A = this chain, B = another copy of it.
Amino acid sequence: MMTNHEQERLENINNLMISEFSKTLEMFALNKTEAQLFVTLFLNDEPMTLDDMKEVLGKSKTAMSTSIRTLLDYNLVEKVFIKGARKDLYQAKKDLYEKFMKTYVNRWLEALDRQVHSLESIEKELKKLDTNGENISHKIHEAIKFHQSLEEVFQQISKYDQ
């Protein structure tokens, strides 16, 4: 059995973990609550309900609901089905690192792809002008090359990673 004191210190460590680990996740385009929520689920062995989470983080149920859906969307968290359970249950996906990198890299690659298309259509727009747009044209090219280099690195990561 644990003393109250020990219990308290253990809870304290848990909170420390949440605040520290979530800092890293925030660097990956997760917002504060999403990051904290993910760490909470990561630290908890049992799947948790929205009310459990709300309890741990001291925020509203709605906040839990919207954040958990983002995490589901990113494929970092999964819904667990347990027969007879009224409330929805969630847990962090296993293979923390792989899941995380995949999510992150994919989001990047998608975004970069969109941006290259935008830049190319700006380039096209520019060519319609008979004005001598040499200079800006060259800049657009450089920007496109920049994006393509980034895409390469991220593709490299996703290769290296599996």
Is there contact, CB below 8 Å, between B153 and A20?
A: no
Chain B CB within 8 A of A146 CB: yes
**Min distance, Cβ A159 to any Cβ of chain B, angstroms:** 11
A100 contacts B156, CB within 8 Å? no
B160→A153 contact, CB < 8 A: yes
CB contacts (< 8 Å) of A130 on chain B: these are: 6
CB atoms of B118 and A10 under 8 A apart: no
- List CB contacts (< 8 Å) of A25-57 with chain B: 27, 29, 42-43, 45
Taking CB atoms, residues of chain B closer than 8 Å to A162 are none
**In the complex, how many residues of chain A place their beta carbon closer than 8 angstroms to a beta carbon of chain B?**
50
In the complex with contacts A9-B129, A16-B122, A139-B42, A115-B153 CB distance below 8 A: no
Evaluate whether A43 and B111 lie within 8 angstroms (CB atoms) in the complex, with A129-B9, A133-B10 already known. no
Asked if A131 and B96 sit within 8 Å, CB to CB, the answer is no
Interchain nearest-CB distance for A73 vs B (Å): 17
- Oligomer copy total: 2
Taken together as a complex, chains A and B put the C-alpha atoms of A112 and B145 apart, in Å, by: 29
A142–B96 CB distance below 8 A? yes
Bound Cα distance from A135 to B149, whole angstroms: 43
- Give the chain B neighbours of A145 by CB distance below 8 A: 97
A24 at the interface (CB under 8 A from B): yes
16 more A-B residue pairs beyond the given contacts A10-B129, A10-B136, with a C-beta to C-beta distance below 8 A = A2-B131, A6-B129, A6-B131, A10-B131, A13-B122, A13-B125, A17-B122, A17-B143, A20-B118, A24-B112, A96-B143, A96-B146, A97-B145, A153-B157, A153-B161, A156-B160
